[in-house]
Structure 1
Amino acid sequence: MTTTSGSSNYPDLFTPIQVGTHTIQNRIGMSALTRNRADGTYPTDLMKEYYLQRVQGGTGLIVTEGILVSRQGTEWQNAPGIWNQQRVVGWKNITDAVHLAEGKILAQLWHPGRTSHPDAPQQKLAGVPVYAPSAIAARGGIFRFLPGEPGYVAPTELDETTIWKIIGQFKQAAINAKAAGFDGVELQGANGLLVAQFLDNTSNTRSDKWGGSVENRARFGLEVLKSFKEVFGENVGMKISPCGGYNDVGMPLSDTLETFSYFLREADRLGLAYITLVRYHPNFDMVFDGVNRSTNFDVLDSLRSSITNSKVFLNAGVTPEEGQQLISEGKIDGIMVGFNMITHPDYVKRVKTGRPLNNAPNFPLLQRNVSDEDWHSGYTDYPLAKC
């Protein structure tokens, strides 16, 4: 990267954009990133420092790490939740700080579905089984915080009543997010989690109205989005990863295109603020029995036409140069940055001023703390660019 002004090199990246009812000062958003620094499932002051660093670093729109809509266990031991008032208070502490710094922050809401484990502490406290659309275990997975580091197990198939109960938990989480001061919510529909498990015909083999046809497999995600709209109106977004791979989802290309073309069209008709498309990236590849679960195709070229109302952000290794070109060509409205935003809290300022991205990633601490005494390392200790 040169030392000339990045804002002149990437003028479209630094043009304000309307996202829902909010005006965002640039078109670089922070993608949701699991960091596992919650106190159990409670948001903390250290998390406030983390988000505040990135707002002060110039990020136009912050999307939080995935926030659990219920106590049901997770493969991430210290992922935060928002299912009761105590957790709302913790998140309010964070959103207040972000707003004081003139930032915008959305809560990404998620449910792990079959990527939970029955022996996970939060799962035991929830007192319910590991649920999924069908009783099909995902392959892979390592629960490092459990004895023996087990993998995924076969879940309990959801019944009609419990499906609606979980949709209700998503809606209540959105209500709680509004009480916590969030500017909107994003549905986590990517990465092989519950929404993706319903969409995918390898993880959803139901024969009722929640499975089988494309329309039925899309129903769960659309019902959750409708419930979010009832709470946040225009300020609802969604993240989706059509190429699959991660957490053992993925369909043949023809099924993928049919499923996601329909789902994106129907979601777009709801009047979403934005849709983030996660493009193919080899980091999401998962190979079982010699078969790669990812479907490698050009997401923008194949699916962009399904979105005509919502803003479109692109995610997965998108560089400023790519973002500038794609925005100028009218193919996207902005970019969502993940990994580089972890390692560079001032990522946006560096791009704007032409400073290099030269912080070395602390890989062992990307998703776990050093010890009970040190949660800071690899989280809030990445240095800012020198002037």
Structure 2
Amino acid sequence: MTTLFDPVQVGAIHLANRIVMAPLTRNRAPDAIPTPLMATYYTQRASAGLLITEATAISQQAQGYADVPGLYAQEHVEGWKAITKSVHAAGGKIVTQLWHVGRISHSELQPHFGKPVAPSAATANAKTVLIKDGVPVFVDTSEPRALELEEIPGIVQDYRHAALSAIAAGFDGVEIHAANGYLIDQFLKTDSNRRTDDYGGSIENRARFLLEVVAAVADAIGGDRTGIRLSPVTPANDAHDAEPQPLFEHVVRELAPMKLAYLHLIEGSTGGPRDLPERPFDYAAMKAAYRSAGGQGAWMVNNGYDLTMSEQALKDGADLVAYGRSFISNPDLVARLKAGGPFNKAERATFYGGGAKGYTDYPTLAD
């Protein structure tokens, strides 16, 4: 029987085990530049089969939270190079998550203090993070403006450029963030996409932006080094769709021919309940739609998995299991899962912003 600790080939990337560190925003990259402290943080966790970095902005326009890293300038590439080199020296594999937040931003973070962009000029009922006097402060998102039709190809090219920059920085691949109510998800969902042009209305139109982004990235670096993260029913960042089942079955059928390395699925509410009675969704049917269309990418599950649940997921056909908050407080989570614990408790007050405290100072079993 397949276990969490067995190796697996994921596209072009060979993983030592099936345990994945999920992307976790930590707000410790001033001026969007990755730091040596971040290299320590990721290297401490390199025993995971795969590390997915915190969400990383593809442009300044894509920034939505203070002190999150970028991948759109040479100084960003150089900062990430030190991190990927250190992770690889420790035997790990690492991909970066490419991010455009869309309307989940604040004018203080935008070029020339402009409005955030979105499919439609609909403000999200959501918060973002600014740093005031060195302290993270949660504030309401700003009113966005609707993207003009002629602007969309430029954003697709920003994804492509960021993917090429990721490879130049030494990453093993990229994950496209198409979940949690950010820009790609905003195009997908009916509540945030009220367009009447080729990018709005029908399922095919609302999925168009996602498919253009994935095609551009896969063309640039190879589908076998490209993953995508999806969240069909999470309410995170005010994300809502009237009929998510046909929408996401269409999406994965269209993704199947692109020969992606993996699909990363958030089941239920991101970081919250797995079962949402008001938002029923059949993930098995979604996976069946992907496989029946010829999709061969690894299937990664995510949201509140413990060891028992993970083993059952593998029995049910999952290939990878992503762990988020568990990796914050347990840098050696792989060893702790193998030993059955114990597990450190995370300090929530240090999740966002700050320095080493609550970031690189959690003990390991060897300490």
Q: Report the equivalent of 2:346.
A: 361
Q: Report the equivalent of 1:307.
A: 290
Give the 3 Å change call, closer, same or farther, for CA 244–355 of structure 1 in structure 2.
closer
Match of 1:43 among 34, 46, 53: 34
d(CA) in 2 for partners of 1:226, 1:157: 23
- Percent sequence identity is 37
Question: In the alignment, residue 361 of structure 2 is paired with which amino acid?
Answer: D
Q: Report the equivalent of 1:383.
A: 363
Kindly indicate whether residue 7 of structure 2 is the aligned counterpart of residue 16 of structure 1.
yes
Partner SS for 2:326: helix
d(CA) in 1 for partners of 2:186, 2:277: 14
Q: How many residues get paired?
A: 357
Question: In the alignment, residue 280 of structure 1 is paired with which amino acid?
Answer: G
Question: In the alignment, residue 68 of structure 2 is paired with which amino acid?
Answer: A
Q: Report the equivalent of 2:241.
A: 251
Match of 1:224 among 213, 236, 245: 213
d(CA) in 2 for partners of 1:151, 1:128: 15
Match of 2:269 among 263, 266, 281: 281
Give structure 2 stretches of 5+ with no counterpart. Answer: none
Runs of 4+ in 1 over 3 A off after TM superposition: 142-150, 281-285, 293-296
Give the 3 Å change call, closer, same or farther, for CA 294–69 of structure 1 in structure 2.
farther
Question: In the alignment, residue 341 of structure 2 is paired with which amino acid?
Answer: R
CA contact (8 A) 1:280 1:299 kept: no
TM-score (norm 1): 0.87
Give the 3 Å change call, closer, same or farther, for CA 194–376 of structure 1 in structure 2.
same
Which deviates more from structure 2 when the two are superposed, residues 86-95 or residues 275-284?
A: 275-284
Give the 3 Å change call, closer, same or farther, for CA 295–272 of structure 1 in structure 2.
farther
CA contact (8 A) 1:320 1:351 kept: yes
The 5 Å alignment of 1:46-85 reads 46-55=37-46, 58-72=47-61, 74-85=63-74
Partner SS for 2:103: helix
Question: In the alignment, residue 226 of structure 1 is paired with which amino acid?
Answer: A
d(CA) in 1 for partners of 2:211, 2:277: 24
Q: Report the equivalent of 2:304.
A: 317
Partner SS for 1:247: helix
d(CA) in 2 for partners of 1:192, 1:70: 18
Q: Report the equivalent of 1:265.
A: 253
Q: Report the equivalent of 1:31.
A: 22
Q: Report the equivalent of 1:334.
A: 320
d(CA) in 1 for partners of 2:272, 2:190: 19
CA contact (8 A) 2:65 2:130 kept: no
Residue-by-residue CA offset, 1:258-292 (whole Å, 9 max, x unaligned): 1111011111221110001100137458xxxxxxx
Partner SS for 1:26: coil
CA contact (8 A) 2:102 2:118 kept: yes
d(CA) in 1 for partners of 2:73, 2:148: 25
Give structure 1 stretches of 5+ with no counterpart. Answer: 1-9, 286-292, 370-374
Partner SS for 2:31: coil
TM-score (norm 2): 0.92
Partner SS for 2:175: strand
Give the 3 Å change call, closer, same or farther, for CA 184–319 of structure 1 in structure 2.
same
